[in-house]
Amino acid sequence: MLSKTKVVIIGCGGHAKVIIDILKSDPEIDIVGCTDPYARGWVSDIPILGDDTILRELYDSGIQHAFIAIGDNTVRQRLSRKAAFIGFHFVNAISRFAYVASSAQLGMGIAIMPGAVIQADARIGDGSIINTNASVDHDCEIGSLCHAAPGVTLSGNAVIGEGVFLGTGTKVIDGMHIGEWSILGAGAVVVDAIPHHCLAVGVPARIIRQWD
């Protein structure tokens, strides 16, 4: 019998609860615990081992795989860099209730939640989240550290840059580009390209703020 991969989950909030549920169903994964700067005790029957300063000790003890269970893209980026610097490898959390086409290309450290659909030749970058009932159609490209919130719909050939947050129910028509680290408000409908570092809302989506 093959030994299980021991994994530490970084984060213990609501997003982490969903990740724990997904990873518990993976027969090859053994969740050893979570880390959090403030919380103590247990989350979803998993012990909170301490804050992030314990990561080096865990790695040196032989626990060398992690999952960053943080919904905020910027925080997830920071913690991913910290864990990678220590040496951690990242596992994926893919719900058995999601559909992922055999030709889809998946990065590492990604979350694909129940009801999500990833169609043919779609590409999902490292550390990205495809949340509950989100749909990524054929040939879409999602950069690293993105978050497609519940109910997002990406039509075919959409291109989503690094660090983009797509709010609940956002819809992106086919072939549209959204620039890096932009934010789409809940329910936005994207019918024109969105540049980098923008906040866009509404139907159709319009830019209300832009930053460097």
| Three-class SS of the chain | CCCCEEEEEECCCHHHHHHHHHHHCCCCEEEEEEECCCCCCEECCEEEEECHHHHHHHHHCCCCEEEECCCCHHHHHHHHHHHHHHCCEECCEECCCCEECCCCEECCCCEECCCCEECCCCEECCCCEECCCCEECCCCEECCCCEECCCCEECCCCEECCCCEECCCCEECCCCEECCCCEECCCCEECCCECCCEEEECCCCEEEEECC
Of residues 65, 138, 177, 197, which has the active-site annotation? 138
Known catalytic residue at 138: yes
Active site residue ranges:
138
